[in-house]
């Protein structure tokens, strides 16, 4: 193996140590310890998801993982990104909005060149706090759809995807000279166990296993669940090597795993070394002391581990997931994940080193029975706080709709995003959806009612003017009109009579549920779809439905901008220019002073923000910027900061909500 920059020859590399005499076998778990190519190995792994890290930074993050003494990197493979439309695949340069993140083969080659083995968790369900748990939204159009079961229609699409992705990945197996030493089948499948309501489908798991085998996968096949909480309900004992997921109570978890697989090695697939953040929740931090204690407990059991996450990264674009505590059509228990997936991980969102990094490095060095060459830890280049940009232009929602020719669909009834006949029959995946009704006569004090729950937020405009809600400044606002918590919500939309008015409902998809079973997934449509919209108790029909997918080219070609002033307010685009006269540096966009919405950088959807926190700074990596003028656009629901500025900072900002 050719050494990548950052290595000096003395000890052998991982690949030299394990393959110098040829490759005879892969990762073996048929005794009380792992062997790789018939040599003892303990797996020291760190999770890093290629789709959460800008492609130009992959090598930097991989080398930092290797420099910590880890010998493996783990990643999921998200189906929804690699097949964004029904039958259209993207593994880099496939034409999707997110294509630059999807060069999976390049990532695997880079991992090997940085001297790391790879664990692939290919789904089809990945959870990962990711949009829809990795499932494509177009699956919702297909009926029946037995998500995560052996139901025939679901398995038809799983089989098609696996036949594509596993054919690609087979060439990267360790026994064929590649870096991949293990594949995970499904993910935390035992979590679906719900007494008489649902028992995990073992036929489904066997069908998945057979798909791996039929596509030439010869490496170790694994499953992952909490042994204490879920037992063996989510695996195939004797066919899949079971691993453990947990954040604490390591000894008891591993003792239970040992009962299930006596005489076999112990592996923690997910040691939750940090945690994620919810919109409107408290920022999660796991102490260094807890991290050290749990790792020491793992090592006391002579177990291998994967630190989830070792580098969390970012839910760029519209890719955050969400939780749903309620069943079926009740959206009141909905909670979205933040754009930041920093996870309080050893390597921060922008690539910095936390104390946890050095704790892991210390403990691994003391525990590892095999000594191989590790590179020097790459220098961390601190983000830069650029000078604030003045907002120069404003494009209100009404003008945006009138002058930029978005797709428009006439529908007698309200339709969710996913059921719109666009994108070659795949529906709308991300963004916002507009429901508009012209020529409406409003008597005085008219009341608009939305039946069911909003999925997920709604703004009501009358003749282009925002009437409700008018702010988001505290958690209490979520209990009012315009948000997902209220069912059958109503609001007064005028005082004086109005004639031939235009009613506009702008609905935001804040992210799809990432962890759910067959019943919940089949009810995770976005938009207005759970009932009618009424005005003064009369149903409104014949809607103009406009999908606002907010794609990069469309954003960059927007027309109708006017000069911004302190009088500019309401939903719309607020635009500034960030001029950079040298090589761009990482930075953060400070969202304090803004209400709710999305930020676009040079047309790319950077991420979401909300005044209820806890995240108040969006990570903006240097590769998204150019030397020269950069377009910074806020798609804001309410109004811009009073000073008319877009501010930048050199650090993360987390403030717990009130």
* Residues labelled catalytic: 188, 270
Strand order in the sheet with 572-580: 562-563, 393-396, 572-580, 628-636, 596-601, 604-610
- Other beta carbons within 10 angstroms of residue 591's beta carbon come to 28
Interatomic CA distance for residues 257 and 225, integer angstroms: 10
Nearest to 72 by CA among 121, 116, 41, 27: 116
Could you please report the per-residue DSSP string of 526-567? -BS-SS-EEETTEE---EEEEEE---HHHHHT----EE--TT
Interatomic CA distance for residues 34 and 120, integer angstroms: 17
Interatomic CA distance for residues 7 and 72, integer angstroms: 17
> Phi and psi of 212, rounded to 5°?
-60, -50
Find all residues with CB under 8 Å of 503, minimum gap 6, and list them: 436, 437, 440, 448, 460, 461, 462, 493, 535, 540
Looking from the CA of 112 toward its CB, the CA atoms found within 13 Å total 20
Find all residues with CB under 8 Å of 162, minimum gap 6, and list them: 122, 124, 208, 211, 212, 215
Find all residues with CB under 8 Å of 526, minimum gap 6, and list them: 416, 417, 418, 433, 455, 456, 507, 509, 512
- DSSP annotation of 423 reads T
Could you please report the per-residue DSSP string of 202-213? HHHHHHHHHHHH
Interatomic CA distance for residues 121 and 225, integer angstroms: 13
Q: By the 8 A CB rule, do 438 and 502 touch?
A: yes
| Residue 612, SS3 per DSSP | coil
Tokens of 106: 């390049």
Pairing status of strand 267-272 against strand 304-311 = parallel
**Which residues on neighbouring strands pair with residue 45, listed in sequence order?**
72, 306
Interatomic CA distance for residues 123 and 110, integer angstroms: 22
Residue with tokens 């594949």: 183
Q: By the 8 A CB rule, do 619 and 599 touch?
A: no
By the 10 Å C-beta count (0-12 exposed, 13-18 middle, 19+ buried), 536 is classed as exposed
> Phi and psi of 455, rounded to 5°?
-125, 80
Interatomic CA distance for residues 334 and 533, integer angstroms: 21
Q: Which residues of 23-42 are buried (b: 16+ CB within 10 A; e: fewer)?
A: eeebbbbeeeebbbbeeebb
Q: By the 8 A CB rule, do 157 and 142 touch?
A: yes
Run of H or E residues at 35? strand 35-36
Tokens of 514: 């990432």
Strand order in the sheet with 617-620: 389-390, 645-649, 587-590, 617-620
């Amino acid at each position: 193996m050719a050494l990548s920059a950052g290595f000096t020859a003395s000890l052998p590399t991982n690949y030299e140590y394990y393959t110098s005499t040829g490759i005879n076998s892969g990762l073996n778990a048929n005794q009380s310890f792992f062997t790789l190519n018939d040599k003892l190995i303990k797996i020291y792994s760190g999770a890093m998801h290629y789709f959460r890290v800008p492609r130009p930074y992959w090598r930097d993050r991989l080398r930092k993982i290797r420099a910590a003494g880890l010998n493996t990197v783990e990643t999921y493979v998200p189906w929804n990104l690699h097949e964004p439309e029904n039958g259209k695949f993207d593994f880099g340069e496939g034409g999707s909005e997110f294509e630059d993140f999807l060069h999976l083969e390049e990532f695997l080659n880079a991992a090997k060149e940085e001297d790391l083995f790879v664990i692939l968790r290919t789904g089809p369900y990945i959870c990962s706090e990711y949009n829809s748990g990795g499932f494509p939204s177009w699956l919702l159009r297909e009926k029946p759809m037995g998500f995560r079961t052996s139901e025939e229609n679901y398995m038809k699409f799983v089989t098609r995807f696996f036949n594509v992705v596993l054919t690609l990945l087979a060439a990267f197996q360790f026994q064929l000279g590649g870096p991949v030493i293990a594949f995970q089948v499904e993910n935390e499948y035992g979590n679906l166990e719900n007494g008489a309501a649902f028992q995990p489908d073992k036929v489904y798991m066997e069908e998945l296993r057979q798909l791996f085998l039929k596509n030439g996968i010869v490496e170790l096949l694994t499953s992952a669940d909490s042994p204490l909480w879920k037992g063996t309900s989510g695996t195939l004992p004797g066919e899949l090597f079971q691993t453990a997921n947990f954040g604490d109570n390591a000894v008891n978890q591993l003792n239970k795993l040992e009962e299930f697989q006596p005489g076999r090695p112990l592996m923690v697939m997910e040691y939750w070394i940090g945690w994620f953040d919810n919109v409107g929740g408290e920022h999660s931090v796991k102490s260094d002391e807890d991290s050290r204690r749990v790792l020491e407990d793992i090592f006391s059991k002579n177990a291998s581990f994967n630190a989830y996450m070792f580098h969390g990264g970012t839910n760029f674009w519209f890719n955050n997931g969400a939780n749903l505590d309620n069943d079926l059509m009740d959206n009141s228990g909905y909670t979205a994940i933040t754009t930041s997936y920093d996870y309080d991980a050893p390597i921060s969102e922008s690539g910095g080193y936390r104390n946890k990094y050095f704790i892991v490095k210390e403990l691994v060095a003391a525990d590892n029975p095999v000594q191989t060459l590790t590179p020097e830890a790459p220098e961390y280049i601190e983000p830069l706080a650029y000078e604030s940009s003045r907002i120069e232009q404003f494009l209100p929602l009404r003008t945006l709709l009138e002058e930029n020719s978005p797709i428009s669909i006439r529908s007698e009834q309200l339709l969710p995003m996913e059921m719109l006949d666009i994108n070659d029959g795949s529906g709308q995946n991300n963004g916002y959806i507009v429901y508009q009704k012209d020529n409406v006569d409003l008597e005085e004090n008219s009341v608009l009612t939305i039946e069911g729950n909003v999925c997920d937020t709604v703004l009501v405009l009358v003749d282009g003017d925002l009437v409700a809600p008018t702010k988001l400044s505290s958690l209490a606002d979520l209990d009012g009109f315009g948000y997902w918590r209220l069912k059958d919500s109503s609001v007064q939309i005028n005082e004086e009579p109005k004639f031939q008015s235009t009613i506009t409902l702008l609905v935001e998809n804040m992210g799809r549920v990432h962890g759910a079973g067959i019943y919940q997934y089949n009810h995770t449509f976005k938009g207005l779809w759970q009932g009618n919209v009424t005005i003064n108790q009369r149903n409104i029909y014949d809607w103009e439905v406009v999908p606002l997918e907010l794609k990069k080219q469309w954003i960059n070609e927007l027309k109708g901008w006017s000069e911004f002033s302190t009088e500019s307010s309401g939903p719309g685009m607020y635009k500034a220019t960030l001029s950079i006269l040298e090589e761009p540096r990482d930075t953060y966009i400070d969202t304090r002073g803004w209400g709710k919405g999305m930020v676009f950088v040079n047309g790319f959807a950077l991420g979401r923000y909300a005044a209820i926190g806890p995240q108040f700074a969006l990570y903006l990596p240097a590769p998204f910027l150019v030397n020269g003028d950069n377009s910074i656009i806020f798609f804001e629901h309410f109004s811009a900061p009073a000073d008319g500025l877009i501010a930048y900072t050199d650090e993360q900002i987390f403030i717990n909500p009130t």
